[in-house]
A and B are shown apart, each in its own frame.
Chain A
């Protein structure tokens, strides 16, 4: 099956710093990637949808200047949490859509802890 990787798997940072999370589709080209946030014992909340070469579409309530998304190639999307604060601590998960099988494949997630 298709594989999506995320890096790093976990990160701890100080309040006010920026953190970049990478999402890669390893064996297929992903025209669309999705970024989700998941708080403990809650469901996945879609943050934004990114299409290769174009600006991301953010869900209502998600600050686009705080959560910068770049989908520069068909195999890589990045999420940068700028000026992170403790309330940004969460589990961030990306998914990538394989257009050949019309299915989304999820990455393993990145645990962000902001001190």
Chain B
């Protein structure tokens, strides 16, 4: 059973554009919804995360939108920059001690 489905697999946007990555999940027990950013040859780093009691969270150019009824959450990157070119993973989790469930990843390329 694929618990987390991430799309698109790859995304190319122009500098200054909006990048949108989506994550659909099946496990309604998930209670923490993070997005991680990974550069080649590096470990993932937490970018932004949301709890299910809010529908949106914004940190700088990064926004998470959460739709509990649709079991989906998305990452929006405003004013995308070439330095944002990386692979992004959604990785929801059940409880604080449990492991993350990684999506398949989205390779974002921002053209200068």
Q: Please indicate the chain B residues that have their CB under 8 angstroms from the CB of A111 in the complex.
A: 41
Q: Please indicate the chain B residues that have their CB under 8 angstroms from the CB of A43 in the complex.
A: 89, 102-105
Contact B89 A102 (CB under 8 A): no
* Interface of chain A residues 91 through 106 with chain B (CB within 8 A): 91, 93, 95, 97, 99, 102-106
* Interface of chain A residues 1 through 59 with chain B (CB within 8 A): 4, 6, 32, 34, 41-46, 49
Contact A44 B97 (CB under 8 A): no
A: interface residue count bin: 20 to 34
Cross-interface CB contact of A44 among B42, B45, B102, cutoff 8 Å = B102
Cα A99 to Cα B45 with chains together (Å): 17
Q: Total A-B pairs in contact (CB under 8 Å)?
A: 44
Contact with A along B39-83 (1 / 0, CB 8 A): 001111110000000000000000000000000000000000000
Interface centre among B41, B44, B105, B107 (most CB of A within 10 A): B44
Contact B100 A107 (CB under 8 A): no
Quick one: given A42-B105, A43-B105, are A93 and B97 in contact (CB under 8 Å)? no
Contact A109 B89 (CB under 8 A): no
| 26 A-B interface contacts by CB (under 8 A) | A4-B43, A32-B97, A34-B99, A41-B107, A42-B104, A43-B89, A44-B44, A44-B89, A46-B99, A49-B99, A91-B41, A93-B43, A95-B43, A97-B96, A102-B96, A103-B46, A104-B46, A104-B100, A105-B46, A106-B36, A106-B44, A106-B45, A108-B43, A109-B41, A109-B42, A109-B43
